[in-house]
């Protein structure tokens, strides 16, 4: 019997959603305590915290965690590097996969798509718009894009609104009914480090630390790799 009865509350970016849904949350809940996760892009999490909202744990980009440490909102001594997320492209399950191995192939695929989906509030969407702008393509592609404020871009493929979806590979993998084309070309690829940390004044600090320790175990590491992210370098 678990002595702990309180739920662990987490604010988390979407990059680890696939791994968490792949049994990790269930396992921890069964062995320790219930877990509630509020899933949002890092930018949205930052806005929530700025409004005074809090939790026990946060999983967000390293840059966001650093800012929260500087504001004394999360404990610096609890910071743990979790994973590195990388960008990719998805199409409908069974659809023809465009070539995206080079910059020219990648840009051509975007031009040839009826509509491309990306998240305006996500790191992936912000980065994609920079790429498009640098190649003079932003207005052209955005004019027929299927953008979302936050969430999972591949859902626009499932509904038939887009041919291609851009996001972190692990986020694309959350959505059923799509196939991963592959990662961005090496020259355009960027990896985003994510950390986990405990909030100052967390209601369940011991349980929060137990969760961090759990994510450092063999089961969690295998799930992360299986679900589209890279393990943080030792």
| Average pLDDT value for residue range 100-107 | 98
Confidence tier at 137 by pLDDT (50, 70, 90): very high
Q: What's the pTM value of the predicted model, to 2 decimals?
A: 0.87
* Residue 213 CB-half CA count within 13 A: 7
pLDDT computed for residue 121 by the predictor: 84
CATH fold for the domain made of 8-84+193-231:
D-Maltodextrin-Binding Protein; domain 2 (3.40.190)
Contacts 24+ apart (CB under 8 A), 23-26: 23/223, 24/214, 24/215, 24/219, 24/220, 24/223
Confidence tier at 5 by pLDDT (50, 70, 90): low
Number of H helices, E strands in the chain: 11, 10
* In the chain, domain spans: 8-84+193-231, 86-183
CATH H-level superfamily of 86-183: Periplasmic binding protein-like II (3.40.190.10)
| Average pLDDT value for residue range 40-69 | 95
Contacts 24+ apart (CB under 8 A), 190-193: 190/86, 190/87, 190/127, 191/84, 191/85, 191/86, 191/230, 192/15, 192/61, 192/84, 192/85, 192/86, 192/123, 192/168, 193/61, 193/62, 193/81, 193/83, 193/84, 193/232
- Given this chain, do its domains 8-84+193-231 and 86-183 carry the same CATH topology? yes
| Average pLDDT value for residue range 85-89 | 96
Confidence tier at 43 by pLDDT (50, 70, 90): confident
| Average pLDDT value for residue range 196-202 | 97
| Average pLDDT value for residue range 46-63 | 96
Instruction: Please state, in angstroms and rounded to a whole number, the distance separating the CA atoms of residues 11 and 9.
Output: 7
């Amino acid at each position: 019997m678990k002595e702990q009865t309180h739920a662990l509350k987490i604010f988390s970016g979407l990059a680890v959603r696939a791994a968490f849904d792949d049994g990790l949350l269930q396992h921890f809940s069964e062995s320790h305590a219930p877990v509630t996760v509020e899933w949002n892009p890092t930018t949205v999490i930052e806005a929530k915290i700025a409004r005074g909202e809090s939790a026990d744990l946060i999983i967000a980009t390293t840059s966001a965690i650093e800012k929260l440490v500087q504001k004394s909102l999360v404990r610096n001594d609890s910071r743990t590097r979790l994973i590195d997320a990388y960008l990719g492209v998805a199409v409908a399950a069974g659809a023809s996969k465009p070539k995206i191995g080079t910059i020219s192939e990648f840009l051509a695929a975007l031009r040839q798509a009826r509509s491309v989906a990306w998240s305006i509030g996500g790191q992936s969407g912000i980065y994609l718009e920079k790429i498009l702008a640098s190649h003079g393509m932003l207005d052209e592609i955005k004019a027929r894009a299927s953008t979302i404020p936050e969430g999972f871009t591949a859902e626009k493929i499932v509904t038939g609104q887009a041919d291609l979806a851009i996001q972190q590979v692990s986020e694309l993998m959350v959505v059923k009914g799509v196939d991963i084309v592959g990662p961005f070309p090496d020259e355009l690829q960027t990896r985003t480090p994510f950390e986990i940390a405990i909030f100052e004044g967390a209601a369940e600090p011991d349980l929060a630390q137990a969760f961090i320790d759990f994510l450092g175990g063999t089961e969690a590491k295998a799930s992360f790799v299986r679900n589209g992210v890279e393990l943080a370098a030792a």
